[in-house]
Structure 1
């Protein structure tokens, strides 16, 4: 049945690939937020679930540190996304490899920047839990990336 609907199959693959890349991003973000740039709170789900010992920081430092951690996680998880996209979801060939990688990171970078600013604002202004602010960041990125990757970067 899916063979007759290649666009649906491609979208399902994109969702799976996005899930893998998102999982990589979440794991990296939380590791960095726990060990490198402290930005987790006692109420964060990862802290409670894994019983992590954290260093408490004020909201200003937490916002800054979470944004730094998000950038670090982005660089690595975006490479995971790119590799899965070129080997399993989309067809390469619209651009040279270098242009394709630059466009991929540019589009992802713009959506990540929008999401990261949103995350920082939600923490600073609304004092939102880091986990929820991070989730808002992910939603903002997903909304932009599929369309841009499908119609601008790859050959559909």
Structure 2
């Protein structure tokens, strides 16, 4: 594993952006490069999801930030609503980018592939969605920390399941 990381770092140091971009665009690549691509797509999906979550939490009808003037219990419930809405958009972005750039589609029919992809996303999301608001309500943790927990749990579940169960590889 360490040698793969060393090879990747050497490749990035020794090549220009055009060569790096060309390597990233090869679909059949080693798992480390694939995980880097997955991470790039994940950052895009995360950005979309968090911008929507924050916007809804700040200016939407479900205030969910610490300074929004609602109790921790209300904030916890509102964070669930805002996360569900934001999840919808982030999941679509993640599916499109993962199927076009990271993984090889075709293990299942496109409709089934999207359903499986979304089901797996929902499981990881559900774990974070349930744990975050309870931690807000019981321990008064910040909304930011609850969101970090959601992100970590979702990422761990999603990569493994998408790689081995949804896509060809």
Q: Provide closer, same or farther for how the CA distance between residues 38 and 149 of structure 1 changes in structure 2, counting only shifts above 3 A.
A: same
User: Which residue in 2 is equivalent to 1:38?
Assistant: 63
**How do 1:142-153 and structure 2 match up within 5 A?**
142-153=155-166
Give 1 or 2 for the bigger CA radius of gyration. 2
SS at match of 1:29: helix
TM-score scaled by structure 1?
0.88
**How do 1:66-81 and structure 2 match up within 5 A?**
66-81=79-94
Root mean square deviation of aligned Cα: 1.5
Q: Provide closer, same or farther for how the CA distance between residues 5 and 83 of structure 1 changes in structure 2, counting only shifts above 3 A.
A: closer
Paired with 1:83 and 1:122, the residues of 2 have a C-alpha distance of 32
SS at match of 1:128: coil
**How do 1:40-59 and structure 2 match up within 5 A?**
40-42=65-67, 55-59=68-72
Paired with 1:155 and 1:35, the residues of 2 have a C-alpha distance of 41
Structure 1: which 5+ runs fail to align?
A: 43-54
User: Which residue in 2 is equivalent to 1:26?
Assistant: 50
Paired with 2:99 and 2:29, the residues of 1 have a C-alpha distance of 20
User: Which residue in 2 is equivalent to 1:16?
Assistant: 40
Displacement of 1:107 after TM fit? 0.4
Give the 4+ runs in structure 1 shifted more than 4 A.
1-5
TM-score scaled by structure 2?
0.81
Displacement of 1:35 after TM fit? 1.6
Displacement of 1:5 after TM fit? 5.7
Question: What is the CA deviation profile of residues 99-155 of structure 1, one whole-angstrom value per residue up to 9, with x for unaligned ones?
Answer: 000001100001101100011111011100111111111111111000000000000
User: Size of the alignment, in residue pairs?
Assistant: 144
Structure 2: which 5+ runs fail to align?
A: 1-6, 9-22
Paired with 1:136 and 1:73, the residues of 2 have a C-alpha distance of 16
Paired with 2:80 and 2:141, the residues of 1 have a C-alpha distance of 14
The higher-RCO structure (CA 8 Å, 6+ apart) is 1
Paired with 1:130 and 1:8, the residues of 2 have a C-alpha distance of 32
